[in-house]
Amino acid sequence: MLRLLPRGVLCLAALGCTGARGARLARVRPPRAPCRASAAASAGGAPPPPDETAAAHADRVVRLHRDLAAAAVGGEGGAGVARAAHNARQAAVFDAAVDWFASAAATPPDVEPRLRRIAAAALPADGARAAPPPRVLDVGCGAGALVPFLRERAPALDLLGLDLSAKMAAACAARHGARVLCADVVDWADAEAAAGRGGAFDAVVFNACFGNMHSPRLALRAACTAARPSGGRVVIAHPLGRAFVSRLRAEDAAVVPHELPADARALAELAEGLPLRLVALDDEAPADGAGGGGDGFYCALLERWLPRPLPRVMLLRGEVSRGYGRGSAQLGVPTANLREQDFAGELAHVPTGVYAGWAVIEGAAGRAGEVVHRAVVNVGYSPTFAGAENAQKIVEAHLLPGGPSGRENGGGALFAPASFYGAQMRLLLCAFVRPEHKFESFPLLLAAIHKDVDEAARVLSEDELAPFARDPFLLMGLAPDGTVGLRAGRGSGASGPVRALFKTVDFALARSAAAMQKSTP
């Protein structure tokens, strides 16, 4: 769930941004066009005169935009049609607008301070010149209006631009030497795979395009997936402000189907269930109050947060069962699975999502050779497999190699064990990574899984969670009579009844007990 930090904790001014409300320009022309949609309309007319006010220029663009809408360039669009149809309309509209976007009129000099503010939100001063260079995903990059300002902050920037318009993508690449892909942000993982590059981005920026998305929710979720897990930034911005986007939407909702999120509550609803927190929201109203004259400013800065410890640690023991044959066969991610039916309804109350913790396969090498493995665990129904979702909630544990330290056997690679169906697994879950999602494609799902692995491996190595590798439950197992206090559920194995056990323990108490142990197996 999105977290809202107090305004004083961190705001855009603290990030080195300039041009706060008191210094707002009184007469500002749009940075490229007032937004992706309005710029397309501008393609049908002459560039604005150099002395035109922001309000006059906005009126000119809206009139041209109205004419473009009447011509129905590119067919139908908007939230009410399929994403493919909407994207086709966007591509056609902005293919037609490429000459305007690539002209000097698209980015007047007196708007540069606003673009610098957006670039500063994406790349704070302490990270702009980091080594290795920061990676930025510029969504809806157009002809590259934001690129020079990002490079001002990070000259060695590793930039990837995305745009639905092939002509826009080509223009950005030609003008700025940028790497640009013609792709929807929702399919960014597919595009990255096709380009042969992977990894997380330090910032994902939606500059003057978020209202054009077919589904802002899907776009934000994809951006969250793309962003670096620990502190990666997602910026939703428009140099001319929220009221201007509303005005354009009123003219043609087929091209601009959505408003910008109006406040922290709207952003929280949009990001519900995503590991994002709101750092700052700068929503400057236009001087005319509500007319959308183009002299507002909007910038929402969100940040990825790390997995959070569970208030109560979950302890599970059960028989490893055959899953649905998808982890290894379709994703190359082997799992050890526990069934909901073996836990007498206890799992029904466990929220679906991805967890981090520790696991032991009993008897894998005899009691003396049992190894405590770091584990990334999904509890849920696998909704990405449309039409073949799990019939019941299942616990799927991905075991990482190398024991608690992770230094052996290749570090963070996924553990590929020998068959352990029918063996008993002890599992301790101590942190929540993210909610369970239905992804649009298998590449997106696989990218999220590998990000989950990296995130869990990192958080389990930190002082707060590392002691759980020495928990008595993992090291010593259960007494035959169940005196540890775990509830016995129902289950059966090949050789008779099996005790499927579940319990929750206060985090602080469990951590204290684990810390008292001297070593891991």
SS (H, E, C) 248-310: HHHHCCCCCCCCCCCCHHHHHHHCCCCCEEEEEEEEECCCCCCCCCCCCEEEEEEEECCCEEE
- Helix and strand tally (H, E) in the chain? 15, 18
Classify residue 467 by its DSSP letter: G
Return the number of other C-beta atoms located less than 10 Å from residue 195's C-beta: 12
Position 387 scores a pLDDT of 57
Classify residue 324 by its DSSP letter: -
Which positions ≥6 away from 181 have C-beta within 8 Å?
Answer: 160, 161, 162, 163, 169, 191, 194, 195
Distance, in Å, from the CA atom of 119 to the CA atom of 140, rounded to the nearest integer, reads 15
Distance, in Å, from the CA atom of 75 to the CA atom of 59, rounded to the nearest integer, reads 25
Cβ-in-10-Å burial (0-12, 13-18, 19+) of 7 comes to exposed
Q: What are phi and psi of 142, to 5 degrees?
A: 60, -140
Position 450 scores a pLDDT of 83
Q: Which residues are catalytic?
A: 396
Strand order in the sheet with 179-182: 3-4, 276-284, 297-304, 233-238, 203-207, 135-139, 158-163, 179-182
Distance, in Å, from the CA atom of 136 to the CA atom of 203, rounded to the nearest integer, reads 5
Which positions ≥6 away from 77 have C-beta within 8 Å?
Answer: 85, 86, 88, 89, 90, 93, 254, 255, 257
Q: Which of 307, 321, 315 is nearest to 347 (CA)?
A: 315
For each of the domains in the chain, give its residue range(s) and CATH number, in order of start: 3-304 (3.40.50.150), 308-515 (2.40.30.30)
Distance, in Å, from the CA atom of 295 to the CA atom of 291, rounded to the nearest integer, reads 10
Amino acid of residue 49:
P
| Cβ atoms of 38 and 65 closer than 8 Å | yes
pTM of the model: 0.68
**Residue 127: helix, strand or coil by DSSP?**
helix
Q: Residue 483 half-sphere exposure, CB side, CA atoms within 13 Å?
A: 4
Position 375 scores a pLDDT of 95
Rounded to the nearest 10 degrees, what angle do helices 83-96 and 166-176 cross at?
A: 50
Spans in the chain with pLDDT lower than 70: 1-75, 126-130, 189-199, 287-294, 323-332, 344, 364-369, 385-391, 402-419, 440, 477-499, 518-521
Check whether the bond before 132 is cis (ω within 30° of 0): yes
| Cβ atoms of 388 and 324 closer than 8 Å | yes
**Residue 346: helix, strand or coil by DSSP?**
helix
| Cβ atoms of 137 and 169 closer than 8 Å | no
Helix, strand, coil content of the chain in percent (nearest 5):
35, 20, 45
Q: Cα 150 to the chain's mean position, in Å?
A: 21
